[in-house]
Structure 1
Amino acid sequence: MFFGAKLFLIHVGEASKDKIDMLSIILKGFEKDNLDYEVVFKTGDPVNVILSTSERKKIDLLILGAVQRERFVKYYVGSIARKITRQAKCSILLLIKPSVERISCQHIVVNGLKDPKTEQTITTAFYVAKQLNASKITIVEEINQDQVSVKVDDDKSLRRATIMKERIKLRENSRIKEIISHIPEAYTENKTVKLQPIFGRKGYSIGHYAQIMRADLLVMNAPTKMTFWDRLFPHDIEHILTELPTDVLILQ
């Protein structure tokens, strides 16, 4: 409704009158909004069914329910939501606390890391904020601690490290402000925007920040490629998938 898009409901399994009737009852409440939708029934492996249907129907965004944290063993096997996230060619919205009654989105956190995809990700975050009437956006610039290559063992080295960190923060803030200047004013008006540089591990730092700030939505770049080794030695998006801090939108 918020994005004026067609909704596809993918049901893994055979169609039946009971299932169709149940879906009709659920969707009846949206008739007044003129919701355009289509129900797809298909048997098979849930991951394969959802991925193949998404490609066949040219779906732009997959919305999936996901548990907030998985057990150690299950993490390596991967839940259905996480398997789909790692393989999907479209954007993914992971919901950890879906509710029947809509809870309004107020605060969106988006990654501002230096990457070719980041400008489009930040622009999309502002677009989503406008459509959902979210009032606050925080852009988190995750900075690798290795960029401050100073061993702190006395007051002089501490001052040098502090000055170096401040210079990096100013540089990163300048880069993000340049990106924001390219975003249509219709998306940025009436929004409280905060720039938040953080020194730490990519993925883990922004996830932890979104959690402690109780953000309603975390917006991230999709990874270029994920392999078994990425899951064995988690980094970037894998830190987010290990323990979802809030609802997460991963943009292709």
Structure 2
Amino acid sequence: MSLKPFNTIGIGVTFSPNLKANIYEAARLSQMFKTQLVLIHVGDKSADKEAQFKAILEPFIKTNLNVEIVFKPGNPVDVILSTAEEKEIDLLILGALQRENFLKYYVGSIARKITRKAKCSILLLIKPSVKRIHCKHIVVNGLKDPKTKQTIASAFYVANALGVDKVTIVEEITQDELAVKVNDDKSLRMANIVKERIKLRENARVKAIIEGIPEEQTKNITIKSQPIFGKKGYSIGHYAQIARADLLIMNSPSKMMFWDRLFPHDIEHILTELPTDVLIIQ
């Protein structure tokens, strides 16, 4: 497991109302993670544009931010993806959109296409802020999957870099795993026994993963293991919202067969209605 999952952070920048907040978020993270920062602007280079970006970056440049600004015209999705590969970006920051008249956020079409195609980790921000808002609680998936060990290790790396107080590891369990139909008191008792056995099994599996992470990464953080029964993706997103998590960390999706090649449905639930900021670990 890599102890430093991110070496270069990238962010697409446009002259939108959130420009300053987006750059501040990216620059802060770059300094906290001790990485290089790459600003990607889809468009031709000009002295005026460069001056505006550098003016926003000035407080961070004064504190030794390692930053590069890339200007490249073309299709936004293609430009951002190609630049991410060329610059070896391993964490790409994308902004989410708020639905009109609703306090709900979702991934817009361009960001969604980038998220589906990117070969690096993705951070989806729903409310970027110029002033730092302290991240106190991270929820991370603990499902049984080959990628989960690295995702949980990355979650503790992020938690330490951001000074997070609490990490909750959520093991989503589908109702299919119960394999008991409840139609009377006896079957209800049996279903509850099976549930408890599954919870104990899942908690033991997650505990083994945590024990494999260096102690200095876990010792100052309150760790909770939370098995939940329900539909994958929807359940953890709902839990993150109810638990008022500041960040939800998920495995990257596995490539599926032709009919489901865009995204497994668990991630799709989250992209449709973001419960909080979401980090997808590649």
TM-score under structure 1 length normalisation: 0.93
Structure 1 residues 166, 190: CA separation in 2 closer, same or farther (over 3 Å shift)?
same
1:243 matched to 2:273: yes
Which residue, out of 190, 193, 196, partners 1:160? 190
Instruction: Summarize deviations over 1:90-141 as a string: whole Å, max 9, x none.
Output: 0100101101111010000000000001011001100100000001000000
Task: Report percent identity of matched pairs.
Answer: 72
Which residue, out of 189, 196, 200, partners 2:226? 196
Aligned-partner Cα distance in 1 for 2:257–2:270: 16
> How many matched pairs?
247
Aligned-partner Cα distance in 2 for 1:48–1:28: 29
Q: Superposition RMSD on alpha carbons, in Å?
A: 2.0
Aligned-partner Cα distance in 2 for 1:176–1:192: 15
Deviation at 1:199, TM superposition (A): 0.6
Aligned-partner Cα distance in 2 for 1:229–1:96: 29
Is the partner of 1:33 in helix, strand or coil? coil
| Structure 2 match to 1:97 | 127
| Farther-moved stretch of structure 1 (233-242 vs 79-88) | 233-242
TM-score under structure 2 length normalisation: 0.84
Aligned-partner Cα distance in 2 for 1:241–1:58: 25
| Structure 1 match to 2:25 | none
| Structure 1 match to 2:86 | 56
Deviation at 1:229, TM superposition (A): 3.9
1:119 matched to 2:146: no
Instruction: Kindly indicate whether the alpha-carbon contact (under 8 Å) linking 1:62 and 1:91 is maintained by their aligned counterparts in 2.
Output: yes
Instruction: Kindly indicate whether the alpha-carbon contact (under 8 Å) linking 2:253 and 2:263 is maintained by their aligned counterparts in 1.
Output: no
Instruction: Summarize deviations over 1:198-243 as a string: whole Å, max 9, x none.
Output: 1111111101111111100000000111677448996111111111
Structure 1 residues 83, 181: CA separation in 2 closer, same or farther (over 3 Å shift)?
same
Aligned-partner Cα distance in 1 for 2:169–2:120: 23
Structure 1 residues 78, 32: CA separation in 2 closer, same or farther (over 3 Å shift)?
closer
Unaligned runs of 5+ in 2: 1-30, 101-106
Is the partner of 1:2 in helix, strand or coil? helix
Aligned-partner Cα distance in 2 for 1:212–1:160: 29
